[in-house]
Structure 1
Amino acid sequence: MAAYLRELGYRVSEMSSAQDAEAHIKQPLNQVDLVIADVAMPGVSGDAFASWLSIERPELPVILITGGQSDALVSSSAPVLTKPFAMSELARAILERLGRRYGS
């Protein structure tokens, strides 16, 4: 997925845990325009991470990704993409979260 996002021209920072992502987001010099997180992450669920973001950075858009089994556990208002999904679906979700139109 990161390679696809780079192909689309996005700068991607990959983190191995929610704690690493939190530390990255808290650094003032790191520009973060959008967060894509898996619902099932080590240590903290993607849903809990999205809830933290809604408090710490309410203006920061989030997209959650799930394998499907965890959908019932997601209480965040962030959109959820269920695997498998087409990369075009991801591209559309990103543009929508960034306030842009897909295909324009």
Structure 2
Amino acid sequence: MHILCVDDDPLVRNVTCDMLRDLGHKVSETSNGNQGLSRLRQTGDAIDVLITDIRMPGLDGLRFAQIARGDRPNLPIIFFSAYAPVESPDEFYSIRLQKPCSLGALDAAITKMASRLTPG
């Protein structure tokens, strides 16, 4: 799958992207919501899953996801945060992972999102 990872912390973003690549995914990455939105719009439907931090300066992850969903209503989103739980805008097409997470937890979240992409 092609996954877009958006996180303002370079260390967290690098580790997350490395984990995603270890799981066999193609990864694009950006450091903020505005760059993420631009990347999504450039790649069209090529992005299968979005992983975004929630708290970022400027365009935060929740607002970024809301705008992205305006373009792609069924885009699976994994909210990745070290902070207290927040409501997901759409429970069917989004889930929340606590930072830091294990490789297994990340893989399970992506598998869960991928299962929602397939009909049936």
Which TM-score band applies after superposition, normalised by the shorter structure? Answer: 0.7 to 0.9
Distance in 2, matches of 1:75 and 1:91, equals 19
- Structure with more of its chain in strand, by fraction: 2
Distance in 2, matches of 1:20 and 1:67, equals 21
Q: Who is 1:76 aligned against?
A: 89
Q: Who is 1:90 aligned against?
A: 106
Identical columns (%): 32
- Is the partner of 1:59 in helix, strand or coil? coil
Match for 2:61 among 11, 35, 46?
Answer: 46
Q: Which amino acid aligns with 1:59?
A: N
Q: Who is 1:57 aligned against?
A: 72
Aligned residues: 98
- Structure with more of its chain in helix, by fraction: 2
Q: Who is 2:8 aligned against?
A: none
Q: Which runs of 5+ in 1 are unaligned?
A: none
Q: TM-score, normalised by structure 1?
A: 0.83
Rate the CA distance shift 1:28–1:65 in 2: closer, same or farther, 3 A: closer
Q: Which amino acid aligns with 1:44?
A: L
Q: Which runs of 5+ in 2 are unaligned?
A: 1-15
Cα offset, 1:75, TM superposition: 4.5
Q: Aligned-pair RMSD on alpha carbons?
A: 1.8
